Amino acid sequence: MTKPTWKKLIHELRSRTNEFYVNRLAPENLLVTSWRLVLFIVVLAVLVVYSSHKVDQKVIRINKLKVELKDLRSRHIDMRTTLMTLSKTTNVAEEVKTNGLLYSSDAPYKIKIED
């Protein structure tokens, strides 16, 4: 048995569709008498295609946002690590030493203001 080619399959499908139309639909004028139903089905088909397209767009956008969120989270962790490193007491002391500031020998005290 030989494997049918695409050309043969399409030709067979076309001939069967044409035969169905000529033998069943055309003599009874089924399409002409039920044009409202045909129009309704066409509108439903268009809506299905449209909604499918919109869902695909939203899935693509969600995936892009997930990638962006992952990138922003990693940048946030890097910045937080850098801030923690820069705000250490020893690093701050080294940075302000160039301005002439030194450690205080006295402990800080609280100023209380009474109303």
In angstroms, the CA 34 to CA 84 distance is 75
- pLDDT for 30: 66
In angstroms, the CA 115 to CA 105 distance is 31
Q: Is the pLDDT of residue 29 over 80?
A: no
- pLDDT for 1: 57
Between 63 and 34, residue with greater pLDDT: 63
Which residues lie closer than 8 Å to 92 by C-beta, 6 or more apart? Answer: 86
In angstroms, the CA 115 to CA 98 distance is 40
Q: Which amino acid is at 10?
A: I
Between 2 and 17, residue with greater pLDDT: 17
- pLDDT for 31: 65
In angstroms, the CA 110 to CA 115 distance is 16
Q: What are phi and psi of 15, to 5 degrees?
A: -70, -40
Q: Is the pLDDT of residue 54 over 90?
A: yes
- pLDDT for 75: 97
In angstroms, the CA 41 to CA 39 distance is 5
Per-residue pLDDT averaged across 47-52, rounded? 97
